[in-house]
Structure 1
Amino acid sequence: MTAPTLAPSAYPPDLAELIPQARDLAAELGEIPSQNRLKKTLKVGTPKARAVLAALTAPPAGEPTTNPVDTEPDTPPTPVDPVPDTETTPTPEPLPEAMPDVASPQLAPVTDPEPPATPTDPAALPADAVPEDVKARRPVVWPVLILCLPAFVAIWAGWVEMGRLTGFGKVALLPGIADSVVLDTAITLPIGVETYAAYALWAWLSGRAPQQARRFAKCSAIASLAVGALGQIAYHLMAAAGWSTAPWLITAVVACIPVAVLGMGAALAHLMHSGRN
């Protein structure tokens, strides 16, 4: 059974308000709660919790007490037996402030329970309370990069040679301005196709892209990987057959790859940007 938890207030609660709540808590628990339990449930400090606990353990108003005190603080107590003038009547010690009498069953006081053991499961602790040595380690990625390196070299070489078989070659980037600046356009095939496929896979599987962008990234990533696989198959078949030029159909498809990559990249970037607005 869970004890009721009070909402925090901007003003400190009164003892007259705390005692009925403490008695309800005692009736619900079947025993007088400890001082720590009162502090936690009633959201009060140690002095008020001690005063509320004293009110819970005090006997009812109808029972005789060993040290009666008049409820009128200004009226001195009336002596029961006359005493000689030579003796002085002892002044009774002041008792705690009288608490409102609220009828409740008399329960035996209990000692403070031992604090609950701290859970050892890191998932049961808040994020800031989990020790550094218990926190889950991030997955290691560098072995995957080593495994991908040979595949990257083979794919790069296959696309470059495919580009040469289909008419991609060295061109002057700035004709008439800087004729010495020459670029082999065959490298545009591996950079365009495989780089876009890797980025589209990240947008699809990372979960950080919007839903519409993830759907487009999924389809375009699968298409890019399929085109890349077919391109590698076509190159190795032509190389094994000793062809120096590719058939016109393969040349036409390969020539359209940079345009397709440009369109898919621009569309994916637009979908990812529009989904965040």
Structure 2
Amino acid sequence: MSTATATSAYPRAVADLLPAVRDLADRIGEIPSRNQIMREFKIGAPKAQAVRLALVAEPITVPDDIETESASDPWEYAEPAPVLPAVPVEPAPVPLILPAEKVAQVIPDGHPPVSADPAPVKAEAAPGRRLSVWPVALIALPAFVAIWSGWVGLGGLTGFGVVHPLPGIADRFSLNTAITLPIGVEVYAAYALRAWLSGLVPPRARRFAKWSAIGSLIVGALGQVAYHLLVAAGITSAPWWITTLVACLPVAVLGMAAALAHLSHEGAEQ
């Protein structure tokens, strides 16, 4: 049985389309859907639905050699779209960051060490002009003259004086031991101040440098005050307790310098 599906110049009525749709139902063995009628006869959705409803109202004779299936819902407007299975998405791996003590417990002996913490990123210094250093030299010059003369003068009042450090070797070579006071106290104060403010030493060394620098500056100021008070009072020999304190300064400066140097290298040794 053949059915003409060619379209005419004029719209076809529902009664004219009904026999052809009936033939289509006989061929496929079921009531065609609206979309099938639209594709087969090139008509719009309202007319395809009207023809389908008219066909549903009539009994359909199904041949014996075709298996019958459940009648479609008369109010079915479209065939459901197939549901695609969901594609499983694997989650992105999350990096595991462990502290150093946990890494030592997880990694067995004999394996190379693994860094637990990421390497620190050094921040680039912001571009800018550096502070000029020459004003410091200009300021330090008169301060050096005053400090040097004060310490040497106080050394003379406390028993420091000219000595011959190389007897029998260079008898004419002499040295005024009073210069050991400004060199020892003031140079150590500058050295400790540098270690404190530079941030290049371990925390313990930085704390020691901080307090020893402050103490050295205070001792230097008290030494200048003591010298000028003694000279202003016309005293040619310092009291015993001032002499005792001044005599201990070279030893104290040596101990503090050695301790600061040791603490500064403590981090590198560890």
> Which band: TM-score by shorter chain?
0.5 to 0.7
Equivalents in 1 of 2:169, 2:136: separation in Å?
Answer: 44
Q: Secondary structure of 2:172's partner? A: strand
Q: Which residue of structure 2 aligns with residue 173 of structure 1?
A: 165
CA shift at 1:168, angstroms?
0.4
Cα deviation code 1:112-170 (max 9, x no counterpart): xxxxxxxxxxxxxx96xx9xxx9422221111221121111101100000000000001
The CA distance in 1 between the partners of 2:202 and 2:263, in whole Å, is 8
Contact 1:173 1:181 in 2 (8 A): yes
Counterpart of 1:211 in structure 2 is: 203
The alpha carbon displacement at 1:275 in A equals 1.9
Look up the SS of the partner of 2:164 in the other structure: strand
Map Cα deviations across residues 9-44 of structure 1 (whole Å, 9 max, x no partner): xxxxxxxxxxxxxxxxxxxxxxxxxxxxxxxxxxxx
1:153 maps to which of 145, 148, 167: 145
How far does the alpha carbon of each residue in 1:235-264 deviate from its partner, in whole angstroms, 9 at most, with x for none? 000000111110111000000000000000
In the other structure, the counterpart of 1:184 is: 176
> What is the aligned-residue identity percentage?
68
Query: In structure 1, the residue corresponding to 2:165 is in which secondary structure?
Result: strand
Which residue is 1:240 aligned to? 232
Query: Contact 1:159 / 1:190 at 8 angstroms: preserved in 2?
Result: yes
Counterpart Cα distance in 1 of 2:197 and 2:136: 16
Q: What TM-score comes out, normalization by structure 2 length? A: 0.52
Deviation for aligned residue 1:184: 0.5
Task: Report which of the two structures shows the higher radius of gyration computed on alpha carbons.
Answer: 2
Which amino acid in 2 is paired with 1:243? I
Letter in 2 for 1:196: Y
Which whole-Å CA distance do the structure 2 matches of 1:180 and 1:146 have between them?
36
Any unmatched runs of 5+ in structure 2? 1-122
What is the CA RMSD across the aligned residues, in angstroms?
A: 1.8
Which ranges of 4 or more aligned residues in structure 1 deviate by more than 3 Å?
A: none
Match status 1:196 vs 2:188: yes
Whole-Å Cα distance in 1 between the matches of residues 226 and 151 of structure 2? 10
Alignment of 1:126-137 (within 5 A): 135-137=127-129
Alignment of 1:11-26 (within 5 A): none
Please report how far the alpha carbon of residue 276 of structure 1 lies from its aligned counterpart in structure 2 after TM superposition. Answer: 2.1
Residue type at the aligned position of 2:202 = P
Q: Distance in 2 between matches of 1:238 and 1:136?
A: 49
Tell me, yes or no, if the aligned pair for 1:159 and 1:186 is still in contact at 8 Å: yes
Q: Distance in 1 between matches of 2:195 and 2:267?
A: 13
- Aligned counterpart, 1:16: none
Partners of 1:205 and 1:241 in 2: CA distance:
39
The residue number in structure 1 matching 2:84 is none
Q: Quick one: distance in 2 between partners of 1:135 and 1:232?
A: 42
